[in-house]
Structures are given as structure tokens and as C-alpha cells.
Amino acid sequence: MSTMKLEIVTPHGAIYDGNVTVTTLCGKEGEFGVLPGHAAVVSLLDTGVITATTANNKEVSVAINSGYVKVSEEKVTAIVDGAVVVKDEEGVLSDNLEDAKKLLKSAQSTDATIATAISKVESIKK
Amino acid sequence: MASLKDIKRKIKSVKGTQKTTNAMKLVSSAKLRRAEQVAKNSKEYAAKITEMIEEISANLAKSNEELDHPYFKSVKSPKVVDLVVITSDKGLCGGFNSQTIKRVNAYIEEFESNGAKVRLRVVGKKAIAYYKFAGKELLDSIDDLSSAPSYDRAAEFINAVSQDYLDGKTDRVIIVHNGYINMITQEIRVDNLLPLDPSEFTPSAVATSELEMEPDDDTLLEALVKRYIEFVMYYNLLDSLAAEHGARMQAMDAATSNAKDMVNSLSVQYNKARQAAITTELIEIISGVESMK
């Protein structure tokens, strides 16, 4: 299966960098999925959770507050203000779920968006 | 000549100082390593965000649109210039802060001789204290930020500046700070923050495909530039912090070796004085014995 590179960077450094087969991004105008070979797009990101499936079929989830994403055919670059890994490459749930929720709660978004994001984090937990 | 007791006391006190400076050096070198790492991490973000602005501006150029956003409008002879000065909160770091202040003063003179009004926005207790003492008016000041850079506080500080810029209250914004080169060298760095120079964002590689923007390119560019400005401020703080620790390490290293030299020369003095005292005593005893004969 073809893959593309997914990079998530914050002002404090890179949070995730790896090859994925599909990723779902939380755009300002709605959630959208990206597959390799996607047309070039630049979009604002809203508070939410970025999920991706890695090359070896593992789920990765990263909670973010806000930022941008640049999609090109072989690369997805997300530039975000704050991000916390909820589920890492090994499929292991991280123990900083509280951090993720705190990050989401502090985001400047509508209550509905934040609530959706938090419930998403909680659903990953199960 | 100082008495034996005096010299002994002095040696003890210098040794105490030496211990303190040595400890401070060790603390600074540990902090430097951390600050360096943080700065290195955030460099990646800088590269990505610059790349993104480049591509958007390239896209605008393709559709024959000029970058006509106020952020990019340059003014030939600025009437009001805002200087953002970054210094440390703590002293004992050699010429670290005075170098920055010197450069800022040169700028103030230059702009004022050209008829521009200079407004100062100061970060760090050292520069605040300096300009208060010099009787200069500060437009804005913030402390405890340069010793512990936080993105949110830096953003808040710089957003007030860019708001002033957008409102037309200032024509130019310059950030001056002492930056980090390596463990033993710092360099004054000057960032012409606003207006942004569009030529700095000329893409290095030609974008291959048409770029789609969501929501629309103006909103996106504006938000992106705002983020960029916040980040430049934050990065300057990180850079300044790393340089501060470097400068302090160096200053404390020099102080420690000076203290060592001082202890050495004091010990020589002490030994000489002790020898002199023994000789005098011996002479006294011998002459006493002689007179008894």
C-alpha cells in the first residue's frame, strides 16, 4: 500500500513524524480524510484529534488545539500550537490523557468543538 | 603589612566566593544544555511555517496577486519605530545585557536623528531597571518572561505590538536580542519583524501543483503571519535564554579562575608573613640568649 509522510510540529518540537497510509484531519470547515496522492491543500485546523493509520497498520491519535495543515501528494505537514499524543505508534495508550484533555479545554474554540474533541479522546481510551 | 589573621580571613572569603561562582557555572551549563535543546526543537517549526508562507505567497503570485497585506507594506521613512528589547532577568552574566542595551541606544540615536519617534517595549528586569534609571519612558515592559519563555505570554506581548502596527500607531517593529552562537560566543541579533520583507518568503522550490486554500488565502495568510510573528518572538526569547546561560557560564568560569589566582597570591602573602613572623621571633630569642651571656 502506498504511504505518505505525516509530520506534526509544535513550537516545542516535532510531536510525530512517520509514514502513514491514511490520516483524518480536523479542519476548520469540517473533518477530512487524506490518502496518499491527495491534491495540494492548505487548511486551518480546529481543535480536535488527528488520527492516522501507520504503514504497519497501527492507529495513531494526536490531540491538537489549533493550527494549519499543508497537504501535498506525498506529505502532510501539520503546524499546531499544542499537541499531545493520545495513542502512539505501538498502539499503546499514553498515560497523559489528562494532559490531552487539559490542552483541549484550554483551546479557544466553541464549546461544542471542544466537547466533541474530548469525547473523541475518551472513546479512544476504551 | 596585613596581619596573619586578616590574610587568613580573606583567603577563606575568596574561597567561599569561588565555591559560589563554580556552583553557578555548573547550574548555568546544565540550564544551557536544556535551553539549547528547546531552541533546537523549535527550529523545525520555524522551517515549516516559513515554508508554508512561502508556498502561499507563491500561490498568490501565480494568480498575479501582490502581497498587499498591511503586514508586508514597507514604509520608506518610518515616523514611529517600536523597539523590542530582550534582556535577562538576572545579572552576573558579563556584558550580556550591556551589549544589547548599547546596540539599542545606537538605534534610538539613529532613528531619532532621522526624525522618527522611538517607543521602547522591554523584556527582562535588567533593561527595565536600566531605562528606569536613565529616565526613559517605556511603552510596555514584561519581566519573568526571558528567564522562563512561555509561548502564550510571548504571543500576548507581541500581539499587542502587531495590533499597534495594524492600527497604524507604529510603522516599524524591530526586535533586538543577544543571540546564541555557541557555548562561548554570543552575537547581537536584530530582527526586522514588521513590516515583513516579502523577498524573504520567496520560495526556494517551485510549487508543482495548484494549491487549494481553505477557507480562503487571505484569511489563511493573515492567520499564518500572525502565528509567524508570535513564533519569531518566542524563538528570540529561547535564543536569548541560551545565550544568557552561555554568557553566565563564561563569566562564572572567569570569576572562578580569578578567585583561584587570588587564593594563590594570598597564600604566598600569608606564607611570607608567617615566615617573617617566625624570623622575627627567632631573632628575638637569639638576641635574648645573647644578652644573657
The interface pTM score, or ipTM, of the predicted complex is 0.77
Q: Which of residues 224-243 of B touch A (CB under 8 A)?
A: 224, 227, 231, 234-235
Tell which wins on pLDDT, B96 or A108. Answer: B96
In this predicted structure, what is the pLDDT of residue A91? 60
* Report for A115-119, B58-62, B136-140, B205-209: range of highest mean pLDDT: B136-140
Query: Confidence class of residue B250 from pLDDT cuts 50, 70 and 90?
Result: very high
> What is the C-alpha end-to-end distance of chain B, expressed in Å?
34
Q: Are residues B74 and B154 in the same domain?
A: yes
Question: With 90 as the cut, is the pLDDT of residue B264 above it?
Answer: yes
Mean pLDDT of B220-236: 86
Tell which wins on pLDDT, B241 or A123. Answer: B241
In this predicted structure, what is the pLDDT of residue B185? 87
Question: With 60 as the cut, is the pLDDT of residue B137 above it?
Answer: yes
Distance CA B92, CA B97 (A): 10
How many structural domains does chain B have? 2
B58 touches A at CB < 8 Å = no
Question: With 90 as the cut, is the pLDDT of residue B13 above it?
Answer: yes
Residue B30 resides in a domain: no
Residue B211 resides in a domain: yes
Percent of chain B past pLDDT 70, that is, above it, reads 93
Given a contact cutoff of 8 angstroms between Cβ atoms, the answer to whether B224 and B52 are in contact is: yes
- Which letter does DSSP use for residue A2 in this model? -
In this predicted structure, what is the pLDDT of residue B237? 92
Q: Which of B129-138, B212-221, B283-292 has the lowest mean pLDDT?
A: B212-221
State pLDDT tens for residues A67-99.
889 888 888 999 888 888 887 766 666 666 777
Mean pLDDT of B37-60: 82
Tell me the three cell numbers of residue A86.
Answer: 493520545
Give ∠ CA B146-B148-B151 in degrees, rounded to 5: 90
In this predicted structure, what is the pLDDT of residue A108? 72
Q: Are residues B105 and B226 in the same domain?
A: yes
In this predicted structure, what is the pLDDT of residue B209? 55
Q: Which of A80-89, B59-68, B128-137, B264-273 has the lowest mean pLDDT?
A: B59-68
pTM of the predicted model as reported, rounded to 2 decimal places: 0.84
In this predicted structure, what is the pLDDT of residue B268? 95
Residue B32 resides in a domain: no
B262 touches A at CB < 8 Å = no
Question: CA nearest B46: which of A108, A48, A14?
Answer: A14
Residue B49 belongs to domain with CATH number: 3.40.1380.10
- Which letter does DSSP use for residue A109 in this model? S
* Residue B90 burial by Cβ neighbours in a 10 Å radius (0-12, 13-18, 19+): middle
Task: Determine, for residues B52 and A68 on separate chains, whether the beta-carbon distance falls below 8 Å.
Answer: yes
Residue B88 resides in a domain: yes
In this predicted structure, what is the pLDDT of residue B206? 54
Q: Are residues B75 and B144 in the same domain?
A: yes
Residues 6+ apart with CB under 8 A from B106: none
Residue B116 resides in a domain: yes
Question: With 80 as the cut, is the pLDDT of residue B64 above it?
Answer: no
CATH numbers and ranges of domains, chain A? 4-125 (2.60.15.10)
**Domain that includes residue B99, residue range:** 45-248
Query: How far B135 CA lies from chain A's nearest CA (Å)?
Result: 37
Q: Are residues B89 and B70 in the same domain?
A: yes
- What mean pLDDT is reported for chain B? 87
- Asked which of B213, B233, B248 is the last residue of a domain, the reply is B248
Distance CA B27, CA B31 (A): 6
Question: With 90 as the cut, is the pLDDT of residue B280 above it?
Answer: yes
> What are the angstrom distances between the C-alpha of B216 and each of A31, A40, A81, B84, B224?
17, 14, 21, 32, 12
Q: Are residues B236 and B156 in the same domain?
A: yes
Q: Are residues B210 and B67 in the same domain?
A: yes
Q: Are residues B90 and B205 in the same domain?
A: yes
Which residue of chain A comes nearest to B152, CA vs CA?
A81
Q: Which of residues 208-227 of B touch A (CB under 8 A)?
A: 208-215, 219-220, 223-224, 227
Mean pLDDT of A51-75: 86
Q: Are residues B62 and B207 in the same domain?
A: yes
β-bridge partners, A85: A62
Mean pLDDT of A26-45: 87
Partner residue opposite B212 with nearest CB, options A14, A41, A68: A41
Phi, psi of B224 (to 5 degrees): -70, -40
Task: Determine, for residues B234 and A39 on separate chains, whether the beta-carbon distance falls below 8 Å.
Answer: no
Distance CA B82, CA B98 (A): 20
